[in-house]
Amino acid sequence: MPLFLAACEGRQSALAPAGEDAAQLHLLFLVMLGGAVVLWLALNGAFYVVTRLRPGQMSVRHADRVILFGGVIFPTVLVGALLAWGLSIMPEQRATGDGLVVRVTAEEWWWRVEYWPEGAEAPVITANEIRLPAGVRTELKLNANRYIHSFWVPALGGKMDMIPGRETVLTLRPEIPGLYRGQCAEFCGASHAMMAFETVILEPAAFDDWLA
């Protein structure tokens, strides 16, 4: 298994974050995983104690107390704390952008990407490739032409649905320049698998040069 995993690269992995939002979600995943492992160990440890170490030796009163603390109070506190922390991250995932706005429209079946440089009368349009500056929180205005799609660049942040007739907004702050892969994350038709795109993260000066 480690040999197979060693072949993985981080181009399309939520476990190899390259941006502020993805890093936060990565930490959320690790903490949730840690909480799940603690619960799993505690539950199986309790099974081991009552079936192998001390079978049949627990009084009813003692057992009631174990059920109350181990089965009600402990999981409620642990899962409640994880839920509260998970919810507290949501506003940060919707933080306002630094001013750069990119409009992404899901077509059948490709991605239309529009940039509006300052003073421009018409947008700069690209297909299936999104270029963003590192260190800048960009606002992505997401639209869909006919079907519901979902915008997702795992290395940069969470998913956001793209719904015909309703604009959704996702802000991303990439940090590490490089090439990352995005993929439509909502089944949208026979060519759903083809709905992939490259995300090129550039240094801000290089991004300005490219856009110019």
Residues forming the site for Cu ion (CB under 5 A): 149, 184, 188, 195
**Residue nearer to Cu ion on the CB measure, 104 or 184:** 184
Distance between CA 59 and CA 179 in Å, rounded? 62
**Residue nearer to Cu ion on the CB measure, 180 or 197:** 197
> Nearest approach, Cβ of 92 to Cu ion (angstroms)?
27
**Residue nearer to Cu ion on the CB measure, 100 or 188:** 188
**Residue nearer to Cu ion on the CB measure, 100 or 113:** 113
- Residue 13 and residue 178 in contact, taking contact as beta carbons nearer than 8 Å: no
> Nearest approach, Cβ of 149 to Cu ion (angstroms)?
3
> Nearest approach, Cβ of 195 to Cu ion (angstroms)?
4
**Which of 133, 129, 140, 146 lies closest to 189 in space, CA to CA?**
146
Distance between CA 66 and CA 80 in Å, rounded? 20
**Residue nearer to Cu ion on the CB measure, 24 or 126:** 126
> Nearest approach, Cβ of 184 to Cu ion (angstroms)?
3
Which pair of structure tokens corresponds to residue 115?
């940039």
> Nearest approach, Cβ of 79 to Cu ion (angstroms)?
34
In terms of C-beta density within 10 A (0-12 exposed, 13-18 middle, 19 or more buried), how is residue 21 classed?
buried
- Residue 197: count of CB within 10 angstroms of its CB: 20
